[in-house]
């Protein structure tokens, strides 16, 4: 089975459905945020804070500026980590990010870590330090997808529950392609029954279609089943070709360096996606000139992205 890029997928869906994301994971904070004033993702602005090694590129982080309706603070920051593998010093890293963000902005911070891995019992949410009589305790919100109850996610009216359910099905179907086909079809069917607006359906479908990746023969079987279910692609507000092009383009670029595949993936994306694709290609050793030609980014722009790889 070919590689997919869950870090990019999670980053995108959090941005696409941010209000639903906050409502789902932070029910206490949600009613106090003034979404009418908008919100801002500060990833680029704080990129220097997150100096990562090559290994650490496997997780995603997001920093979001939101305005409050009440309280002393005019605006606060939400720090989001998507953690997909075991990391012994994870809680310490969360604390380091906290004090770096706080030092930069001197604003209140809410931190949330979402664990998408399949390791039972792994959900660190506290960092403690003690040396003689000097003590420190940092605790943040944690959410383990593996622990979630499928039936509760299915019943939820929050669109982001479908995103979490896709993550749960991905874990449950690791190494089980037929199970993944079944889960993917069930989730697509459920998504259509929920009655969400077309725009939300498209965004969630793009996420689940790429996250629940299937080999070609099973993907064709899945598409046939979906067409039978809907009576045609237009009825579900989804274009199969559109959602598949993005991932196919990336995979072809990483594995073969084929420009045409990358271009097809990029055509459906935004400039932000070009940067993410360029970073992934750099990590996989693709020549800078090929990346430049394929993504439309200049050689200088790609050179500046190198620090995110090393």
| Packing angle, helices 288-295 and 259-267, rounded to 10 | 40
List of long-range contacts for 291-296, beta carbons under 8 Å, 24+ apart: 293/259, 294/253, 294/259, 294/262, 294/263, 294/266, 295/262, 295/266, 296/266
pLDDT of residue 52: 54
pLDDT of residue 308: 59
pLDDT at 133 over 60: yes
**What percentage of residues in the chain have a pLDDT greater than 70?**
77
pLDDT at 228 over 60: yes
Most confident of 155-164, 191-200, 229-238: 155-164
| CA proximity to 154, closest of 117, 195, 187, 176 | 187
pLDDT of residue 60: 56
Find the mean pLDDT for residues 252-278: 55
pLDDT at 245 over 60: no
305 or 237: which leads in pLDDT: 305
pLDDT of residue 14: 95
Find the mean pLDDT for residues 87-103: 94
On whether the CB atoms of residues 6 and 116 are closer than 8 A, the answer is: yes
> What residues contact residue 5 under an 8 Å CB cut-off, 6+ apart?
210, 247, 250, 276, 280
Find the mean pLDDT for residues 32-57: 74
237 or 100: which leads in pLDDT: 100
pLDDT confidence tier of residue 309, bands split at 50, 70 and 90: low
Find the mean pLDDT for residues 162-185: 94
pLDDT at 250 over 60: no
On whether the CB atoms of residues 168 and 148 are closer than 8 A, the answer is: yes
281 or 96: which leads in pLDDT: 96
pTM, entire model:
0.73
The secondary structure of the chain as a DSSP string is -----HHHHHHHHHHHTHHHHHHHH-TTTGGGB-GGG-EEE-TTTTTTT----SGGGGSEEEEEEEEBSSSS-SEEEEEEEEE-S--TTHHHHHHHHHHHHHHHH---EEEEEEE-S--TT----EEEEEETTEEEEEE-EEEEGGGS-HHHHHH--STHHHHHHHHHHHHHTTT-HHHHHHHHHHHHHHHHHTT--HHHHHHHHHHHHHHS---HHHHHHHHHHHHHHHTSGGGGT--HHHHHHHHHHHHHHHHH--HHHHHHHHHTS-HHHHHHHHHHHHHTT--HHHHHHHH---HHHHHHTGGGT-
**What percentage of residues in the chain have a pLDDT greater than 90?**
49
70 or 115: which leads in pLDDT: 115
CA distance 8 to 82: 10
Average pLDDT of the chain? 81
Determine which of 95-99, 108-112, 218-222 has the lowest per-residue pLDDT on average.
218-222
pLDDT of residue 257: 44
pLDDT of residue 51: 59
Phi and psi at residue 137, in whole multiples of 5°?
A: -140, 120
146 or 283: which leads in pLDDT: 146
pLDDT of residue 48: 67
Find the mean pLDDT for residues 188-192: 90
CA distance 39 to 18: 9
């Amino acid at each position: 089975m070919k590689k997919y890029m869950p870090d990019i997928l999670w980053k995108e869906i959090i941005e696409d459905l941010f209000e639903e994301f906050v409502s789902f994971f932070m029910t206490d904070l949600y009613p106090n945020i003034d979404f009418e004033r908008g919100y801002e993702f500060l990833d680029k602005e704080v990129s220097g804070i997150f100096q990562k090694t090559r290994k650490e590129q496997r997780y995603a982080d997001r920093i979001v500026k939101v305005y409050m309706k009440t309280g002393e603070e005019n605006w606060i920051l939400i720090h989001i980590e998507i953690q997909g593998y075991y990391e012994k010093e994870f809680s310490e890293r969360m604390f380091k990010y906290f004090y770096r963000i706080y030092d930069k902005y001197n604003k209140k911070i809410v931190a949330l870590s979402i664990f998408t891995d399949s390791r039972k019992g792994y959900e660190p949410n506290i960092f403690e330090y003690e040396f003689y009589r000097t003590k420190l305790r940092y605790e943040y919100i944690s959410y383990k997808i593996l622990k979630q109850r499928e039936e509760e996610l299915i019943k939820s009216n929050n669109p982001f529950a479908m995103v979490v359910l896709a993550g749960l099905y991905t874990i449950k179907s690791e190494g089980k392609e037929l199970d993944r086909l079944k889960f993917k079809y069930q989730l697509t069917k459920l998504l259509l029954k929920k009655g969400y607006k077309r725009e939300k359906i498209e965004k969630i479908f793009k996420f689940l279609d790429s996250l629940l990746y299937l080999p070609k023969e099973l993907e064709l079987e899945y598409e046939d089943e979906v067409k039978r279910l809907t009576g045609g692609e237009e009825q579900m507000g989804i274009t199969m070709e559109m959602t598949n092009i993005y991932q196919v383009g990336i995979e072809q670029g990483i594995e073969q360096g084929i420009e045409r595949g990358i271009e097809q993936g990029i055509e459906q994306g935004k400039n932000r996606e070009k940067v993410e694709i360029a970073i992934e290609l750099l990590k996989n050793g693709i020549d800078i000139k090929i990346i430049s030609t394929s993504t439309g980014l200049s050689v200088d722009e790609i050179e500046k992205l190198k620090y995110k790889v090393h």
